Amino acid sequence: MLLLSAAAVSEARSNWIRLGEDARAEIFIDSASIERPPGYVKAWTMLSFKGRQRGGWRSERRMFMFSCKDRTLEWQQSMYMAEPMGEGEFVHARSLNRYGVGDLRLVELDPSTKDKSVYKEAVPESEFLSVFKDLC
């Protein structure tokens, strides 16, 4: 019997579309992961960094939810991988499991603290926002 890891199954179903790049990373969205719960758009995105990050990773997969009504973007979860394009060994994960679909806020956990009660304003990723707006 062939057993596949969750990461291998997830990668097999991914369809990464390049949205652009900035000074630090190439920016992608996974068209295979797009979901549309009522009033929202949810999808995995990825930053493939041009250099190794302080935490040792070279790419970050991010789950975002976008409120079609409020036009707000919320980060839900990140998976950090050792190599570009979400490849290599798994390094670390972060999640905001605290929020449900009906409780979107334009905030994310401040990565400089482990105190989950401390939040900061999220910086919307313009490339993701334009795609999410078009999907509403």
pLDDT digits (tens, 9 = 90+) for 29-58: 999 999 999 999 999 999 999 999 888 999
Return the ∠ at Cα 135 (arms to 133 and 67), rounded to 5°.
Answer: 55
Q: What CATH code is carried by the domain that includes residue 128? A: 2.40.128
Give the pLDDT score at 52. Answer: 93
Q: Residue 2 domain-assigned? A: no
Q: Residue 13 domain-assigned? A: no
Residue 54: is it exposed, middle or buried by C-beta count within 10 angstroms (0-12/13-18/19+)? exposed
pTM of the model: 0.69
Q: Residue 121 domain-assigned? A: yes
Res. 67 pLDDT band, cuts 50 70 90: confident
46 with 60: CB under 8 angstroms? yes
Residue 67 structural domain:
24-135
Q: Residue 84 domain-assigned? A: yes
Q: Residue 17 domain-assigned? A: no
How many domains, the chain? 1
Q: Residue 54 domain-assigned? A: yes
